[in-house]
Amino acid sequence: MKQILCTLTNTTIEKINAPLFFAIEKHIINSGLGEDKDSFETIKKRLLKPPVLNAKEFAEECIYVILAGGFRQKIAKKKFGEIMGFINDGGTVCEKNLLAIFGNVNKIRAIVKVWNNRENFRNGFYELKNESEKLSYLAKLPHIGDITKNHLARNLGISNVKYDVWIQRLGIALSKSDLQEGFPLNQEVKKLCDKMFAQIEKETGLNKGYIDVVLWKACQTEILNFLY
């Protein structure tokens, strides 16, 4: 059974209350780590007032999430900058050209499809009014799927939980469960995560989408460290 060590307090923790959450958030921001594609502050504002993006902006969010799946954030941001720099300089978007920047064939094929169909994909998303329908729609975009759709949804302004491996481990550990993280997402693990988010939402007054990105960064940087 996992325990969680918080390196800020050097103690094992039973729950993440408001004071601890805000201490973690402050530490991450002060350390210069408070970002995904955008800063924590931008993410927070976007979740409070979701923007209506144009086709290029929508494609950029998709492209970043495609690159981020299974890769370290530092690598994803670097390759995203290089690819968007090439596009913004007027480069022709095709597999051959983009593979010279990043050699992952599946991701590059998806990026080309997203860019070349950005108007249709963007319009299809904004034509939907129901959040559940929007999530289902995002899951069908090139190289997105049922887990990564949650990352993309949050970056588009939908307050949603990503349910990646870090969040699953955190929910399991705080619940003192013997369940295991993994994919496809175990619905019992999802319930544990949802219970954790509901408690933190109630205590902090923040939405789950923002809580998710802060906790993900805290786990990734080992501010919250898992002990066995």
Determine the pLDDT at residue 1.
Answer: 73
Determine the pLDDT at residue 100.
Answer: 97
- What average pLDDT does this structure show over 126-137? 95
Determine the pLDDT at residue 73.
Answer: 85
pLDDT band of 69, cuts 50, 70, 90: confident
pLDDT band of 186, cuts 50, 70, 90: very high
Domain ranges of the chain: 3-45+161-227, 55-155
Helix runs in 95-186, H state only: 95-99, 105-116, 118-126, 131-139, 145-155, 165-174
Cα first-last separation, the chain = 6
- What average pLDDT does this structure show over 75-90? 96
Percentage of the chain exceeding pLDDT 70? 100
- What average pLDDT does this structure show over 146-164? 93
- What average pLDDT does this structure show over 209-227? 95
pLDDT(22) > 90: yes
d(Cα 61, Cα 149) in Å, to the nearest integer?
11
Q: Which CATH number fits domain 55-155: 3.30.70, 1.10.3470, 2.60.40, 1.10.340?
A: 1.10.340
pLDDT(228) > 80: no
Determine the pLDDT at residue 210.
Answer: 97
d(Cα 21, Cα 88) in Å, to the nearest integer?
39
pLDDT digits (tens, 9 = 90+) for 85-127: 999 999 999 999 999 999 999 999 999 999 999 999 999 999 9
Determine the pLDDT at residue 134.
Answer: 97
Q: Is 13 exposed, middle or buried (CB count within 10 Å of its CB: 0-12, 13-18, 19+)?
A: middle
Contacts for 69 with CB less than 8 Å, ≥ 6 apart: 107, 143, 148, 151
pLDDT(179) > 90: yes
Q: Is 149 exposed, middle or buried (CB count within 10 Å of its CB: 0-12, 13-18, 19+)?
A: buried
Tell me the pairing of strands 11-13 and 3-6.
Answer: antiparallel
Residue bearing the bigger pLDDT, 197 or 227: 197
Q: Is 181 exposed, middle or buried (CB count within 10 Å of its CB: 0-12, 13-18, 19+)?
A: buried
